[in-house]
Copies of this chain bind each other. A is one copy, B any other.
């Protein structure tokens, strides 16, 4: 199988750097083909702006969605964007690896999403009307592929528990899992999260690698998070609220998991 690892840490000689190298070796030794987008090493341009299209007139008003649509449809996207889209189309599975900074992904990775997930590629796909709200949340360009987060956090696991002060890790990651990965069609696997990274010694590192190896070995068999597909009848359209008879007692993020 083909795996794209999108990696966002500025220091190769870090825990993240070691885990990235470990993951690549593990996947390759199992016979998979791996490409790595090492965003810091690539000096990835983080900020979405008018320069993301080529051959653009300087004075035109920049509309992030409309410009993205035009550039995607017309082959006028900047080359770095098109190259990452090709990697996504190539891959059977995508891993996003990053340290949790301020309870989300690093800016450089957020900017990868914003620029690569173009209109017509990751959003604005399929019919948009008052009865059909596009191919998204289960459908979309990346349907049939798998995605998983590999995340490091400085805090303790209890700080991210159901009553932990930071909020539950599943809720913190929901906007990424559901809003970024499930949205364009990925099957999203449970995340692999490493806590309390400042207290890593050799024993714990070995245990972490073993647990990570298990997750990489089962990348094709792990059951994805059961997000509810938008277009299978569970949602009213165009309000896009859960139908009254679906999980009537539930609300919030958890209601979107079947």
| Residues of A participating in the B interface, judged by any CB pair closer than 8 Å | 10-11, 13-14, 40, 44, 46-50, 61-65, 99, 101-104, 106-108, 110-111, 113-114, 117, 137, 154-156, 158-159, 161-168, 171-172, 174-175, 178-180, 230, 235, 238-242, 250-256
Cβ contacts A to B, 11 pairs, < 8 Å: A10-B48, A47-B106, A64-B99, A102-B114, A103-B180, A106-B110, A158-B241, A159-B240, A159-B241, A162-B251, A165-B241
- B104–A104 contact, CB under 8 A? yes
The residue from B114, B154, B255 contacting A65, defined by CB atoms under 8 A apart: B154
Q: What distance in Å separates the Cβ of A135 from its nearest Cβ neighbour in chain B?
A: 14
Q: What distance in Å separates the Cβ of A43 from its nearest Cβ neighbour in chain B?
A: 9
- B240–A165 contact, CB under 8 A? yes
- B108–A107 contact, CB under 8 A? yes
Measured in the bound complex, the distance between the Cα atoms of B91 and A10 in whole Å is 31
Measured in the bound complex, the distance between the Cα atoms of B238 and A164 in whole Å is 11
In the complex, residue of chain B having the shortest beta-carbon distance to the beta carbon of A170: B252
Given A101-B114, A103-B180, A156-B239, 15 further pairs, Cβ under 8 A: A10-B50, A11-B50, A11-B61, A11-B63, A46-B47, A102-B114, A104-B104, A106-B114, A107-B107, A167-B256, A168-B251, A168-B253, A171-B174, A172-B179, A252-B252
The residue from B10, B156, B251 contacting A240, defined by CB atoms under 8 A apart: B156
- B11–A179 contact, CB under 8 A? no
Measured in the bound complex, the distance between the Cα atoms of B162 and A250 in whole Å is 9
Measured in the bound complex, the distance between the Cα atoms of B230 and A104 in whole Å is 21
